[in-house]
Amino acid sequence: MTPLGAPLGWRSNTPRPTFFLTSSASLPYYHRMQISRPGDALGTMQEVWEYYRADLQAVDVQIQKHVDSDVPLINQVALYILMSGGKRIRPLLLLIAARLSGDEDAARQAVTLASAVEYIHAATLLHDDVLDEAALRRGKDPAHALWGNRATILVGDYLYTKAVCLAVQMGSLEIDSVLAHACRIMAEGEALQLLHCGDLTLTDDAYLKIVECKTAALLSAACRLGGVLSGASWDEREALGRFGRFLGIAYQVADDTLDYVADQGRLGKALGKDLSEGKITLPLLHLLRTAGAPDRQLVQTVIREGQASPAQLREILDLMQTYGSIVYAMDVARQHITIAQQSLDGFDPSPHRQALVAVADYVVSRDH
């Protein structure tokens, strides 16, 4: 299958809590490592986390600093989701992209803008969990289970507006435009997903369009914003945006595939959650298209009923292995990663370019 938007002739190669962060603190994502001196090759995700540790810690400080509402409930719910151990992929990409030019002023500005991007991401998680009636978020109770739907939605709205306030302070119309466009596309993606919930006629291309809107839009914006801050040329900004777009599509395809095969404890949500919610993702689309009539009937019945028993889920997982649905979906994700990495060809070799390549590799090799 040709990845969405691939160029013609493309070929695949296959109470308010307090948090303290110090220079020796472990990031929520990975434990501290004794590596990553300037000039070191960045071949793994752990090495990338460590290389940008100081920047990421500065982002976490900014995230906490700007959650400063006079309403204690807002601060409590906001910090609950913001400090719950997310990977900080979007801030990380912005930070790396801002350093591609070697501009230290841009790197400092990137810390504030990266926190704004994470606010937007956290807001989408709060809203998504209410819409999906999620039982788990990052292995913990979701905010709506603790504070209710209304409070959760309102705090999500607060985080959106806080992100806007931080962006406006940058004094750049282009920054405002990139973020506004991303938020609009993300909202359209959520609406598209709702429209196609339980839709047995959904095509692969329609699914990838939902993914591009819902997930890839913000990842693309984060990469492009780093280029804006660093004074990159128009072509370089376009390349960074394209990198983030294809990486984002791959990220969501891989995430949807992990919903069927990952370890639930590491994934942080119930396996088969998408199936129970009527979300038809790429592994399921492939299974519906390739399975024999009796097997296809089982899958269609589960989707129509909106829930799967443990036995039904196990049977569907076995069918996905039998018909190669997991392999197919991950192959599609890898194809998009290849295009993402090709988008970096115009940049000079550097640790920062190498870091972007490593992040892309991580997207299709992670287990959670």
CATH number at residue 108: 1.10.600.10
pTM reported for the whole predicted model: 0.87
Asked if residue 161 is part of any domain, the answer here is: yes
**What residue numbers bound the domain in which 192 lies?**
45-363
In this structure, the number of other CB atoms found within 10 A of the CB of residue 360 comes to 26
Exposure string over 179-205, b if 16+ CB within 10 A, otherwise e: beebbebbeebbebbeebeeeeebebe
- Please give the distance of CA 59 from its chain centroid, rounded to a whole number: 17
Asked if residue 73 is part of any domain, the answer here is: yes
Residue 244 has pLDDT above 50, yes or no: yes
Residue 97 has pLDDT above 70, yes or no: yes
Average pLDDT over residues 301-313: 84
In this structure, the number of other CB atoms found within 10 A of the CB of residue 93 comes to 30
Asked if residue 28 is part of any domain, the answer here is: no
How far apart CA 237 and CA 249 sit, in angstroms, is 18
How many folded domains does the chain comprise?
A: 1
SS3 256: helix
Asked if residue 77 is part of any domain, the answer here is: yes
Asked if residue 238 is part of any domain, the answer here is: yes
How far apart CA 216 and CA 245 sit, in angstroms, is 5
Q: What is the pLDDT of residue 141?
A: 85
Share of the chain above pLDDT 70, in %: 86
The pLDDT confidence band at residue 275, using thresholds 50, 70 and 90, is: confident
Alpha carbons within 13 A on the beta-carbon side of 284: 30
Asked if residue 313 is part of any domain, the answer here is: yes
Handedness of CA 320, 357, 221, 269 (dihedral sign): positive
Residue 10 φ/ψ region, left for φ over 0, alpha for ψ in the -120 to 50 degree band, beta for the rest: beta
Asked if residue 312 is part of any domain, the answer here is: yes
Asked if residue 205 is part of any domain, the answer here is: yes
